[in-house]
Amino acid sequence: MNTLTNFIINLVLSVPGLLLALTVHEFAHGWIADKMGDPTARYNGRLSLNPVAHMDLFGTICLLFFHFGWAKPVPINPRNFRNKRLGIVAVSLAGPVSNFLLALVMGFVFGAVARFVPLGMLKEFLIEVLRYAIVMNVGLMIFNLIPIPPLDGSKILMEFLPPKYKFKLYSIERYFSIILLVLVYTGILTPVLSFFSSKILMFIDKIVWLVF
């Protein structure tokens, strides 16, 4: 197969997992924020599992073509949280945790398909779609836990920093987006991301095959 054909096949196989991963991630942020006392996401129509509600056109295109992108951030107002620090930490963790749980669920579906669906084109297609979905969810989880603004990991880190360091980090937060882009496109982060992703994938694999 030529390069274009391979690209189209990979695109078809990856789109379901990509849309599911991003949608659940953003929904989880908004849902937990709502439970913690902030209805902003609900008022803005973001407590939805409709991918359209969360997709950023340019960010989605970048994800599909360059494997680095984003969805529309869910609007959050921390001042509405009943416990501000706990709210920020819980909401920040919600996205990555939801991706891990989704990857685990997809892993069990993968195991069921592998064991019970008869051999054929349908089985091969489902196996590949599920494999992409699992890898994408784990990748999104690990990437968002990196403690570099504007990723979720940085919001968690900042809640445990002394006030003076937290203020300093907030004051230069806008520059970290450029740093993050450089780290991604130069591949500096790749070994770290690959290491942790492989460990999580192996863990999911062991859990799934304990059942199947």
pLDDT in tens, 165-179: 888 787 777 888 888
With CA atoms as reference, report the closest residue to 19 among 79, 69, 66.
69
pLDDT digits (tens, 9 = 90+) for 30-80: 999 999 999 999 999 999 999 989 988 777 777 767 666 678 889 999 999
The domain tally of the chain equals 1
- Catalytic, 124? Answer no
26, 124, 159, 173: the active-site residue? 26
Domain that holds residue 98: 3-211
The amino acid at 129: V
Sign of CA dihedral 203, 204, 205, 210: positive
The pTM (predicted TM-score) of the whole model is: 0.91
Neighbours of 128 (CB within 10 A): 16
- Looking at residue 3, its pLDDT comes to 77
Q: Which helix (H) or strand (E) holds 138?
A: helix 121-144
